[in-house]
Amino acid sequence: MAEKPVDGKKQGKEINKSQEIRNLATALKTKGEKPRPVTIIAALKKQGIVVSSPQVSMVLKRMGFKPRKRRKATNYVAAAAAANKSTKLKTRSKISVEDLVAAKKAVGRLGGLDRALAAIEALRQFET
């Protein structure tokens, strides 16, 4: 039966929580398991030792164990919309100054902006 958790004492003796964490972490490592704060806290609680997650994390960090990298939460719909928006901006920004000068000359030859837009719309209908 597991002992009742007592903060800082085990059967009336003072214990070094950090040393207990180190001992358990090395035991887990020799078994081939990765020492994680959750597993260490649960194992020490069974022994009657109460430790916090930050305390375990700091001891593991000092021992050289690196924290696990977290995956970024990605909203795929927002990411796709942002990519689509940036693509549209890139195609719009590819118009050079020379293109604008040529468009102005074409608008002048067609007799104004309204007629040039009408011609472009007629071309668009032929393409589809």
pLDDT digits (tens, 9 = 90+) for 20-34: 999 999 999 999 988
pLDDT at 31 (0 to 100) = 92
Whole-model pTM? 0.47
Map residue 6 onto helix, strand or coil: strand
For residues 6 and 50, the answer to whether their CB atoms sit within 8 Å is: yes
Residue 119 lies in a domain: yes
Residue 96 lies in a domain: yes
In angstroms, the CA 8 to CA 14 distance is 6
Could you list the residue range(s) of the whole structural domain that residue 127 is in? 91-128
Residue 123 lies in a domain: yes
pLDDT tens per residue across span 105-124: 888 888 888 888 888 888 88
The answer on 95 and 54 residing in a single domain is: no
Residue 126 lies in a domain: yes
Q: Is 116 exposed, middle or buried (0-12, 13-18, 19+ CB in 10 A)?
A: middle
